[in-house]
Amino acid sequence: MKAAVVNGFNQELEIKEVPIPELAYGEILVKIKACGVCHTDLHAANGDWPVKPKLPLIPGHEGVGIIEKVAEGVTSLKVGDRVGIPWLYSACGECEYCLTGRETLCPDQLNAGYSIDGGYAEYCKAPANYVVKVPEGLDFAEVSPIFCAGVTTYKALKVSEAKPGDWVAIYGIGGLGHVALQYAKAMGFNVIAVDIQDDKLELAKELGADITVNGLKNDPAQDIFDKVGGVQAAISVAVTQKAFEQAYSSVKRGGTLVVVGLPNADLPIPIFNTVLNGVTVKGSIVGTRKDLQEAVEFAAQGKVRTNIETQPLDNINEVLHRLEKGQINGRVVLTME
Ligand code: NAD
Ligand code: ZN
Ligand code: ZN
């Protein structure tokens, strides 16, 4: 099968023929139709994070397609079913986190396109118990980004504990941010979209943001306090430390900063203000299978739509260069035919 392979960090991915994965007990083989390109894939290819991916690596954790084969022990799915393979590729099912509905914290998890091969390929295998179904009628390319960008931001909004009617700020209107703001609207929040590029902010307006702020032209935290008195929750999905600092500063008393973007940086936080203002800072990592089912349902009901550009797998290097330079509005989705 054809796949895009990371052979070493900071190198071009190699498009090459590799064997179709062999199935073990309980696994399924998915013929991948589409796979979104997440900024995480760029971090993986560059070895940006303290925990490194396996090498060589087939990236991709928004792979969706049709089941072509099922191994012994698979009872919940059959050949022909439509599914997606998310970042949470598998978890142990037995630890305190798995047992308490917090499987994304499982210390023994595997991650698609990071610790195990993912969806930048014609086929990808996965344990049947951890894939999530794609409802009939949803286009594969359009639904693909829901499998990471969608579920991640939906979950971040949930853990922010903001209530309908509250103001929420989304910092970074890229692949994650452009769906984050739509989940936020659908959940009944008022939304401020912050980015440093006007074309991203135009998209945010089209998708329903109530207020947009260009963080290069204005001080976004000051602007947010002037306009709405601060936000109950700020979700930072940008890839620069500056955005996290500004997101922190835009939270009002009793509010929450949810940390989602993953620049390899520290977040210095003023202790005095955090204490006196009763501010919560929370990390949030993707979402559980249940969160993903819910996130997909929002898309199925037309409450969230992805702004996608499709590209053939062969163009992956050009796509990653553009992603690095901030030249993608929404999400690029690789298509396999
Ligand atoms: P992206 O490149 O598509 O989007 C980033 C956006 O941030 C761009 O629109 C960019 O213009 C904007 N930006 C840059 N500087 C900014 C600033 N100072 N203020 C406001 N906006 C700014 O990336 P993406 O695919 O959306 O991923 C974003 C980050 O989230 C990555 O670090 C990725 O690894 C991480 N991520 C985390 C999780 C998780 O579970 N926590 C899941 C998926 C992705
Ligand atoms: Zn992702
Ligand atoms: Zn576990």
- pLDDT digits over 174-209, tens only? 999 999 999 999 999 999 999 999 999 999 999 999
Distance 107 CA to ligand 3 centre (A): 6
Ligand nearest to the CA of 91: 3
Alpha helices in the chain (DSSP H): 39-46, 96-99, 140-143, 149-160, 175-186, 198-206, 220-228, 241-249, 271-276, 289-300, 316-324
Q: Please check the confidence at residue 322 and state whether its pLDDT lies above 90.
A: yes
Ligand 1 proximity of 172 Cβ (cutoff 6 Å): yes
How much is the pLDDT for 280?
A: 98
pLDDT per residue as tens digits for the range 114-162 = 999 999 999 999 999 999 999 999 999 999 999 999 999 999 999 999 9
How much is the pLDDT for 133?
A: 98
Ligand 1 atom closest to 287 (CA) = 40
Ligand nearest to the CA of 323: 1
Average predicted confidence (pLDDT) for the chain = 98
Closest residue to atom 18 of ligand 1, CA basis: 243
Q: Is the pTM of this model over 0.85?
A: yes
Q: Please check the confidence at residue 59 and state whether its pLDDT lies above 90.
A: yes
* Residue 262 pLDDT class (50, 70, 90 cuts): very high
How much is the pLDDT for 337?
A: 78
How much is the pLDDT for 73?
A: 98
Ligand nearest to the CA of 221: 1
Distance 94 CA to ligand 3 centre (A): 5
What is the percent of the chain with per-residue pLDDT over 90, rounded to a whole number? Answer: 99
Closest residue to atom 10 of ligand 1, CA basis: 172
Task: Give burial (CB, 10 Å; 0-12/13-18/19+) of 227.
Answer: middle
> Mean pLDDT across the stretch 232-259?
98
Ligand 1 proximity of 148 Cβ (cutoff 6 Å): yes
DSSP 260: -
Q: Where in the chain is the domain with CATH 3.90.180.10?
A: 2-148+287-335
Ligand 1 proximity of 322 Cβ (cutoff 6 Å): no
Ligand 1 proximity of 171 Cβ (cutoff 6 Å): yes
Pairing of strands 27-36, 123-127: antiparallel
150-283 is classed CATH 3.30.2090.10: no
Ligand 1 proximity of 85 Cβ (cutoff 6 Å): no
How much is the pLDDT for 335?
A: 98
Ligand 1 proximity of 178 Cβ (cutoff 6 Å): no
Ligand nearest to the CA of 108: 3
Ligand 1 proximity of 285 Cβ (cutoff 6 Å): yes
Q: Please check the confidence at residue 218 and state whether its pLDDT lies above 90.
A: no
Q: Please check the confidence at residue 78 and state whether its pLDDT lies above 90.
A: yes
Q: Where in the chain is the domain with CATH 3.40.50.720?
A: 150-283
Would you state the CATH architecture of domain 2-148+287-335? Alpha-Beta Complex (3.90)
What is the percent of the chain with per-residue pLDDT over 70, rounded to a whole number? Answer: 100
**How far is CA 196 from each of CA 83, 199, 323, rounded to the nearest angstrom?**
35, 9, 15
Ligand 1 atom closest to 104 (CA) = 40
> Mean pLDDT across the stretch 11-33?
98
Those residues whose beta carbon sits under 5 angstroms from the ion ligand 3 are 91-92, 95, 98, 106
> Mean pLDDT across the stretch 84-107?
98
Ligand 1 proximity of 323 Cβ (cutoff 6 Å): yes
Dist. CA 246–CA 96, nearest whole Å? 35
Ligand 1 proximity of 47 Cβ (cutoff 6 Å): no
